[in-house]
Structure 1
Amino acid sequence: MKLQVNEKRLAKLFLFLAIFVVLVCADTDSEVCSNSKVCDSQAGDLESGKDCGCSASRQKNEGEDKAINSKKYSAGFDAENQGGQGNDQSAKDTFVRTNQMAFLEGGQFTMGTDEPVIYADGESPARIVSLSSFYFDVYETSNTEFELFVNTTGYVTEAERFGDSFVLEGRISEEVKNDITQAVAAAPWWLPVKGADWRHPEGLDTDIKDRMDHPVVHISWNDADEFCQWAGKRLPTEAEWEYAARGGLKGRLHPWGNKELPKGEHRMNIWQGDFPVTNTAEDGYEGTCPVTAFQPNGYGLYNTIGNVWEWTSDWWTTRHSSELQENPVPRLAQIK
C-alpha cells in the first residue's frame, strides 16, 4: 500500500495482495456539513432534514464521460438517497448499511517517509501536502454494499468476465488445488483459481453467505470506479487516502501509535505466523474480518491498516517531489 503506517504491513507479508481490494470513496465538497463529523444517508437522516450530501458527487470539471456515467447509474444514486436499500431484499432485511461517510477537515500533513521499510515501494521522500476538506467512507465497502450495486445495475466484475482470479494457496480446497497447473513465479503462493470472484472468494466451492459484512474482494480498479460512480462518490487520491488513514497522528507507524500491540491488544487484522504456510489467527481472523471490526482511528475510520488493500485514483509511481504539493491529483499515464 501507499502509506508509512502500512510499510510494516508489507514487510510482514500480509494475507491480501492487490487482487484483494476494497473501495473507499471520497466526496470533495468542503462547504456541505462542514460542522459534521459523520454523515449518514439513511432514510432517518433525510426525514429529519439532515441532508449532508454525502452521497452526492461534488467534483468540479468532471467532463462529459462522468456525466454519462452519472446518468447510467442514476438508479443506484436514487437508492442511496432513499436509504440505500436498492433491489436486494435479503440484504435489506438482514444487514445494516455501512455506507456512512466522515467529514475530514483539510490541512497540511507529511506524506510518505524518509525511512522506508521497503525502498522499492517508493514511499520516499517525505513531503508536505496540503489538502482541502473532503468526505471519506467510514468503513471498507462490504459485500452487502457491493451486492446492492450489482443487483441494482446488473454490473459484472472483471474477475467474473475473465473467469478466474488469484487466491492464496492456503485458502483453497484440495479439490480445487488439484486442478491448478500454473502459479506466479515471483509469488508461488498465489494461484489462479477458475470461478474465483467477489461472490466466490476462494473458488466456486465457496461463497459469501457468512461474510456479507466483510469487505468485498476480487475487485479491479475499474470495478471500484464503477461502484463509486453508482454511489455518487469517487475513489480518493493517494494523498487523501494517506491523510485519512493516519487518523490525525504525525510520524507514527500505526494509526494509533508505534506499538503493534498496545497493552497486548490486537488492533488490526494481519497475518500472524509463518507466511504463507501458517496463520495462527491470533487477532481472531484467519481471513478477512468484518468492516466494523477493531477500533477506529482518530478520524473515526475503521480498518485503515490491515484486513485488505484499498484502491486509490492515482497511478502508482516511485518518483515524488519533496516540494509542497496542494491537492495533488491523479497522474496521467504516458504511453511511449
Structure 2
Amino acid sequence: MYHKNYLLLFSAVPAVLFFVSCNKAKSSQTSQLFVNGKVDGIVSCTSNGLFPVDSALYMEGGGKEFYESKVNTVKPKGPTPKGMVFIPGGEFSMGGVNPVGMENGGQQNMNDARPIHRVYVDGFYMDETEVTNAEFTAFVKATGYITIAERKPTREEFPGAPEENLVAGSVVFTPPDHDVSLNDHYQWWQYVKGADWKHPLGPQSNIQGKDNYPVVHIAWEDAQAYAKWAGKRLPTEAEWEFAARGGDFGKMYAWGNQFKPDGKWMANIFQGKFPVSDEGKDGFVGIAPIKQFSASTYGLYDIAGNVWEWCEDWYRPDYYEELAHRDVARNPQGPDSAFDPMEPNEKKKVQRGGSFLCTDQYCTRYMVGTRGKGEFRSASNHVGLRCVKDLK
C-alpha cells in the first residue's frame, strides 16, 4: 500500500451497556450486568426462564434489540465444494454488543456497528479457512497476477513524491522497543520497500515452509482477482456476520460470551503490552497457520483473529442507520459509495474478523459484530481474505 495515511486503526470512545430488560418475562425484573464495576456477563431473560426467545439487549445508542435468529432449513442440492462449508442463511440481528468493562475486551466504542438491525441473507458456501499462501501461489502461477504491493507506485498516483520513494512495497507491523502512546499508529506501522505476499516482513523474509499460513499483503483489488479466478466472490458484510454468528444471536464472540471458555484460547490475537511485545500465550507470536483453534458452529476456522478478511461492501459509518429504517434488509450489498469522516479522501472497504494484532488494549475487533475498514488499494501484513460461493 502506498498512500501517505497508510493504515487506519480505529479510534475509541467509551460507551455503556446499561442493562438487559426482561420486559416480556412473567415476573417483571431488570438484570443488572455490573458486578464490582465490571460487566459480569450477557444476561438473557425469557418468559419461561430457559432460553432467550424474547430476550433484548439494549445498548446506549443501540437502536433495536437482538431478536432470535431464524435459520433457513432448506439444504443445498449436490455436494459442498471442497474446502468450503454450507451456510444456510436466514434472518438475524446484525450489529455489535459493546459492554464497557467486560473482562478481556469490549472497552472500545463501536458506533459504526450500530444500530442493531434485522437482516436476511440467502444461503451460500464459505471457505472454511482464510486463503492460504499455497492457494494464492496457485492463482499467481496460473494467471501471472501481480499484486498491488508488488507494483511500483506511479507519479500520477502520488504527484510531488520524490522518485526514490516510488518503490513497490507494503505496510508492516514493526513493534517499538519502548512503551508508546496508543494515539498514533505510525509508531508501530512502517512502509517497507519490497514487502509483499511473498515477503511478508520485507525483502529478506519469505514464505518457505508456510504453505498453510494465510496469505497477507492482499489489497481488496487483489482479493477480488483471486476470488474471480477461483469461481467465487468476496462475502458481503451481512453474509460474513451471519456465518460468524453461526445461527446464534447477541453473542460477544463467535464462540459465545466467555472470552476464554474453560481457560481455552479461541483465536490468535495479541497478548502482552501492545504494541511492544506479544507474549504468545495463545501459542503464537504473530500470524498462525490455519486450523490451530476450534472451528465455529458452522465449521469456520479463524473467523476471529489471525488476519483481517475483506468484504465486498464499501465502508460508511452511517450505513447501519440506513438499514435500521427497514423492516428487514434482504441481502444488503452495502452502500453505493465509501465515506470515512476520519479520512474523507480515502475509499475504504469493510474488513471483518480482526487479526493477530487485536487486543483489549487497543482493538477488540475479534468481537463478532464489530467492523473494520481499509483503503481498497492498500495492503498490510495482517490483512488477507476468505471467499464465498453462491448456491447452484
Q: TM-score range by the shorter chain?
A: 0.5 to 0.7
- The whole-number CA distance in structure 1 between the counterparts of 2:310 and 2:338 is 20
Q: Write out per-residue CA displacement over residues 294-321 of structure 1, whole angstroms, 9 at most, x where no aligned residue.
A: 1100000100001010000000111113
Which runs of structure 2 are paired with 1:254-273 in the superposition (5 Å)?
254-273=253-272
Which runs of structure 2 are paired with 1:44-123 in the superposition (5 Å)?
100-113=83-96, 115=98, 117=106, 118-119=108-109, 122-123=112-113
- The whole-number CA distance in structure 2 between the counterparts of 1:202 and 1:316 is 28
Q: What is the SS of the residue equivalent to 1:245?
A: helix
Q: Write out per-residue CA displacement over residues 128-165 of structure 1, whole angstroms, 9 at most, x where no aligned residue.
A: 10111111111100000000000110000000114111
Aligned counterpart, 1:169 = 174
Q: What is the SS of the residue equivalent to 2:298?
A: coil
1:330 CA drift (Å): 3.2
Cα gap change, 1:281 to 1:111, in 2 (>3 Å): same
Whose RCO is larger (CA < 8 A, sep 6+)?
1
Which runs of structure 2 are paired with 1:115-194 in the superposition (5 Å)?
115=98, 117=106, 118-119=108-109, 122-162=112-152, 163-170=168-175, 186-194=185-193
Cα gap change, 1:111 to 1:258, in 2 (>3 Å): same
Q: Write out per-residue CA displacement over residues 54-76 of structure 1, whole angstroms, 9 at most, x where no aligned residue.
A: xxxxxxxxxxxxxxxxxxxxxxx
Aligned residues of 2:97 and 2:252 also touching (Cα < 8 A): no
Q: What is the SS of the residue equivalent to 2:187?
A: coil
Aligned counterpart, 2:68 = none
Indicate which of 69, 76, 85 corresponds to 1:34.
76
Structure number with greater Rg is 2
Aligned counterpart, 1:249 = 248
The residue identity in structure 2 corresponding to 1:326 is R
The residue identity in structure 1 corresponding to 2:76 is S
The residue identity in structure 2 corresponding to 1:127 is H
Aligned counterpart, 1:15 = none
Q: What is the SS of the residue equivalent to 2:119?
A: strand
Q: Which runs of 5+ in 2 are unaligned?
A: 1-9, 13-71, 100-105, 153-167, 178-182, 340-344, 346-392
**Which protein is richer in helix relative to its size?**
1
- The whole-number CA distance in structure 1 between the counterparts of 2:197 and 2:337 is 28
Cα gap change, 1:325 to 1:278, in 2 (>3 Å): same
The residue identity in structure 2 corresponding to 1:156 is I
**Which protein is richer in strand relative to its size?**
2
Cα gap change, 1:167 to 1:264, in 2 (>3 Å): same
Aligned residues of 2:89 and 2:242 also touching (Cα < 8 A): no
The total of aligned residue pairs comes to 240
Aligned counterpart, 1:59 = none
Q: Which runs of 5+ in 1 are unaligned?
A: 1-8, 12-29, 42-99, 173-183
Q: What's the C-alpha RMSD, in Å, of the aligned pairs?
A: 2.8
The residue identity in structure 2 corresponding to 1:39 is T
1:170 CA drift (Å): 3.0
Aligned residues of 1:115 and 1:124 also touching (Cα < 8 A): no
Aligned residues of 2:176 and 2:188 also touching (Cα < 8 A): no
1:332 aligns with 2:336: yes
The residue identity in structure 2 corresponding to 1:158 is I
Q: Write out per-residue CA displacement over residues 269-290 of structure 1, whole angstroms, 9 at most, x where no aligned residue.
A: 0000001101100011101111
1:39 CA drift (Å): 2.0
Aligned counterpart, 2:383 = none
What is the aligned-residue identity percentage?
42
Q: What is the SS of the residue equivalent to 1:311?
A: strand
- The whole-number CA distance in structure 1 between the counterparts of 2:337 and 2:201 is 33
